[in-house]
Chain A
């Protein structure tokens, strides 16, 4: 089975640019990915593209071929939609295609245009990742659903808002040097605790921002990379996906993410590693509590102890397992369809020594990317390793 090499990565700045179309954002990200890879566009055999709310934000369905065109690629193109895990599932499909010999070169990524909807419109658009009949019509918002999980976590395992605040502070700190991040600004615990409430116990600074942005990856087979003498030292060596019931109230656990656990276990086994081998991770921290649930699901923290990881320094940049060195969704931003592939880009760059925060993980050989859809009714996990 062929290793899947990450030959090039490209990200737009994540942030507030309501005037920019999705096609413009994806074009920019793909140009950067092609330039870095040295792979000619003519060699791309398919485009796998993640997007969640294009119908609502741009009145645009059928985005696959549109984005291939924007990237200057003449190849079959498909859009993948799995809420906030849209480009995570696109990456997973690409990995499987290259491994099974179907393709040697793929353009994978995603984009989302969100800020043009405004806060209320984006809140409504994000809410449709939940069960419309039984959750959305009861007034559950996306932050509201995570707040339900946060309260359940506090009730079951303890912890308080101040613990969550340390996660936000850490991720903002990590974003200071990331020029693509939406917020390159330090915050303090008091800022988080004093911010306006969104859905209690979560406040404004517990939530990732509404963002515009795109991500792109040029993935190739090992043989293609060797034949073309590509500089592509990082490979995706493990992939996993998990699923869970759609409505939060139908889950066995209100304070755990079984779909992420399933995805992580599958990805670890696929790569032949375990949680102890993981040097650092990019996890889906759409809300501060989400980072806690992700760490526990990936076995990077014991169940019930993830809440203290940032506060006690275990997951800070100089801690034993740095988490979200990019700034995470919290500070880097979360253009939902772009997020999963952007995490792969960040892990690749960190492992390759090409990231502003690479010095914090100078000896690292293994990184993990965790991407969650909705309230984690879907999740993908990828293991990346330095192989060359």
Chain B
């Protein structure tokens, strides 16, 4: 829903989306091995400020999901769509499941990251495609 003429870059998050589009998705790992998502300066698990980028695994497993029929205005044209929480090992991600009938989505399904766009706004969206 951002106005393209006044678009503000969200450092960290937009960088991550750009990397994910290139197939280089990452997560942040602290000195004690805790994973988290950017933008972040401090590990939420242990307070470590020593964070480094680590490669996100190619595939993850759906932990839970829902099919949304009543969206916010930003996804009005996209509904119904499936949203899932996916376990990628050190981190979990929330995204929209693409490339499959929403009613066929199930817990345990293996998926890979694929950045897509909202049909409503054209904004980038974290997508998850069955692997």
Measuring CB to CB, which residues of chain A are less than 8 angstroms from any residue of chain B? 119-121, 123-124, 127, 133-141, 143-144, 147-152, 155, 196-202, 245, 247-250, 254
On whether the beta carbons of A139 and B78 are closer than 8 Å, the reply is: yes
- With A138-B95, A249-B93 known to touch, is A152 a contact of B64 (CB < 8 Å)? yes
Q: Which chain B residues lie closer than 8 Å to A201 at the CB level? A: 66
| Chain B contacts with A in 96-131, Cβ cutoff 8 A | 96, 107, 118, 123, 125-126
Q: Which chain B residues lie closer than 8 Å to A135 at the CB level? A: 94
A135 to chain B minimum Cβ distance, whole angstroms, is 5
Docked pose: A250 CA to B36 CA in angstroms = 8
Most buried by A among B71, B78, B95: B71
Docked pose: A120 CA to B71 CA in angstroms = 7
Closest chain A residue to B14, Cβ basis: A133
| Chain B contacts with A in 1-59, Cβ cutoff 8 A | 10, 13, 36-37, 39, 44
On whether the beta carbons of A200 and B94 are closer than 8 Å, the reply is: no
On whether the beta carbons of B94 and A248 are closer than 8 Å, the reply is: yes
Most buried by B among A138, A139, A155, A249: A139
Closest chain A residue to B95, Cβ basis: A138
B7 to chain A minimum Cβ distance, whole angstroms, is 14
Q: Give the size range of B's interface with the partner.
A: 35 or more
Of all A-B residue pairs in the complex, the 5 with the closest CB atoms, nearest first, are: A147-B66, A249-B92, A152-B64, A124-B72, A200-B67
Closest chain B residue to A155, Cβ basis: B107
Contact among A120, A138, A254 with B63 in the assembled complex (CB-CB below 8 Å) = A254
On whether the beta carbons of A134 and B37 are closer than 8 Å, the reply is: yes
A141-B70, A199-B66, A201-B66 are known contacts; what are 19 more A-B pairs with Cβ within 8 Å? A121-B73, A134-B126, A138-B96, A138-B125, A140-B83, A140-B94, A143-B70, A144-B66, A144-B68, A148-B64, A152-B63, A197-B67, A197-B69, A199-B70, A200-B66, A245-B44, A250-B36, A250-B37, A254-B85
Q: Which chain A residues lie closer than 8 Å to B125 at the CB level? A: 137-139
Measuring CB to CB, which residues of chain B are less than 8 angstroms from any residue of chain A? 10, 13, 36-37, 39, 44, 63-76, 78, 81, 83-86, 91-96, 107, 118, 123, 125-126
- The total number of A-B Cβ pairs within 8 Å is 106
B125 to chain A minimum Cβ distance, whole angstroms, is 6
Q: Which chain A residues lie closer than 8 Å to B63 at the CB level? A: 152, 254
Q: Which chain A residues lie closer than 8 Å to B36 at the CB level? A: 250
On whether the beta carbons of B13 and A133 are closer than 8 Å, the reply is: yes
On whether the beta carbons of B94 and A138 are closer than 8 Å, the reply is: yes
Q: Which chain A residues lie closer than 8 Å to B72 at the CB level? A: 120, 123-124, 127, 136, 139, 141
On whether the beta carbons of A139 and B107 are closer than 8 Å, the reply is: no
Q: Which chain A residues lie closer than 8 Å to B13 at the CB level? A: 133-134
Closest chain A residue to B70, Cβ basis: A198
On whether the beta carbons of A144 and B107 are closer than 8 Å, the reply is: no
**CB<8 Å pairs between A and B, sample of 14:** A120-B72, A133-B39, A136-B72, A137-B126, A138-B95, A138-B126, A139-B83, A148-B84, A151-B64, A152-B63, A198-B68, A245-B44, A250-B44, A254-B85
On whether the beta carbons of A120 and B73 are closer than 8 Å, the reply is: yes
A194 to chain B minimum Cβ distance, whole angstroms, is 14
Docked pose: A139 CA to B69 CA in angstroms = 11
Contact among A139, A155, A249, A254 with B75 in the assembled complex (CB-CB below 8 Å) = A139
B76 to chain A minimum Cβ distance, whole angstroms, is 7
Closest chain B residue to A151, Cβ basis: B64
On whether the beta carbons of B65 and A134 are closer than 8 Å, the reply is: no
Docked pose: A97 CA to B75 CA in angstroms = 44
Docked pose: A105 CA to B118 CA in angstroms = 52
Closest chain B residue to A133, Cβ basis: B13
Closest chain A residue to B64, Cβ basis: A152
Q: Which chain A residues lie closer than 8 Å to B92 at the CB level? A: 249-250
On whether the beta carbons of B66 and A247 are closer than 8 Å, the reply is: no
Q: Which chain B residues lie closer than 8 Å to A200 at the CB level? A: 66-69
Docked pose: A140 CA to B85 CA in angstroms = 10
On whether the beta carbons of B69 and A196 are closer than 8 Å, the reply is: yes
Most buried by B among A135, A137, A150: A137
Docked pose: A367 CA to B124 CA in angstroms = 47
Docked pose: A127 CA to B70 CA in angstroms = 12
Docked pose: A6 CA to B67 CA in angstroms = 43
Q: Which chain A residues lie closer than 8 Å to B78 at the CB level? A: 139
On whether the beta carbons of B83 and A198 are closer than 8 Å, the reply is: no
On whether the beta carbons of A141 and B44 are closer than 8 Å, the reply is: no
Q: Which chain B residues lie closer than 8 Å to A121 at the CB level? A: 73
On whether the beta carbons of B65 and A139 are closer than 8 Å, the reply is: no
A201 to chain B minimum Cβ distance, whole angstroms, is 8
A164 to chain B minimum Cβ distance, whole angstroms, is 14
